[in-house]
Chain A
Amino acid sequence: MKKFLTYISLAVILFAGFAAAVRMAAMPRTYEGQNATVPVAELQQNPDAYDDSVADGAAAAIVQQNLARTHAVNDVTSVVFDFRGYDTMGEAFILITAVAGATVILFTKKARKEETKDEE
């Protein structure tokens, strides 16, 4: 019975994911890239000539209003710590988990070694 319920729930999750994928594939694109008038090679030669007035979607908010909304000169830091602060919080908690796991493993190794030393 338990196995049967597990399979049923897995099938439901699979179908929901499939339906979501189909619906997302049918949605319009958020960024077409057709508005980008300057080729990348030219942009690398002369970065100051970049015309950011035609950015659309979320890129427009980050590129055009970054200084007005955050006062941070570095765009990447303002994305990481302001616009996507959730992401950085997750990374920080992953680091905490990794440190806790490594501490547990290494401390048990240490304790086991000391035990064997005492027996000898």
Chain B
Amino acid sequence: MKNENIRIRHVVASSLDIVFPLTMVYMCYIILHGHLSPGGGFQGGVLIVGVILMLYFANGYEATADSVSFHLLHKAEGVASVAYVALAMMGIAVGAQFCENILYTHGNIGDLYSSGTIFWMNLTVGIKVITGIGSITLLMLGIVQERN
């Protein structure tokens, strides 16, 4: 029985090596292409739950908590939300409205870097969701670990 468990764990860990980078690239793709295709910060950031759960299933809680720092995630969430408000206030600084798009002339329509503040706000919301949901998931995994 114990040998069986070890073998299953090796299978999961080696398939993680294939799926993990693909999932991370997919997450970054959805967040970065929010202004070009369906998706955006909220939708892409939630994929971090899948990434952390895959790490947990393959390597256990200790390795996951070592590789993903909870306190760094918690601080990055605050920084990202402040960055969102600062980007939205940029409109007021140049005499336009709150949340006004003032950088949209950079880049051509359809490029990856275009649409000005929409791109940056998308990025900050993506970072916010990644860090927030990721830290909650880590905490819940810690509770599960203690119960066992």
Please give the residue numbers on chain A whose beta carbons come within 8 Å of chain B beta carbons, in ascending order.
67, 69-74, 76-78, 80-82, 85-86, 88-89, 91-93, 95-96, 98-99, 102-103, 106-107, 109-110, 113
Among candidates A72, A73, A106, residue contacting B140 with C-beta atoms closer than 8 Å? A106
Min C-beta distance of B35 to chain A, whole Å = 4
Among candidates A70, A95, A107, residue contacting B104 with C-beta atoms closer than 8 Å? A70
Which of B8-16, B21-29, B56-64, B77-85 contacts the other chain?
B77-85
Q: From DSSP, what is the main secondary structure of chain B's interface residues?
A: helix
Query: Could you list 16 examples of A-B contacts with CB < 8 Å?
Result: A71-B115, A73-B35, A73-B36, A73-B109, A81-B121, A81-B122, A85-B98, A89-B88, A95-B128, A95-B129, A96-B77, A96-B78, A99-B133, A99-B136, A102-B139, A103-B74
Q: How many A-B contacts are there with CB distance less than 8 Å?
A: 103
B143 and A103 within 8 A (CB) = no
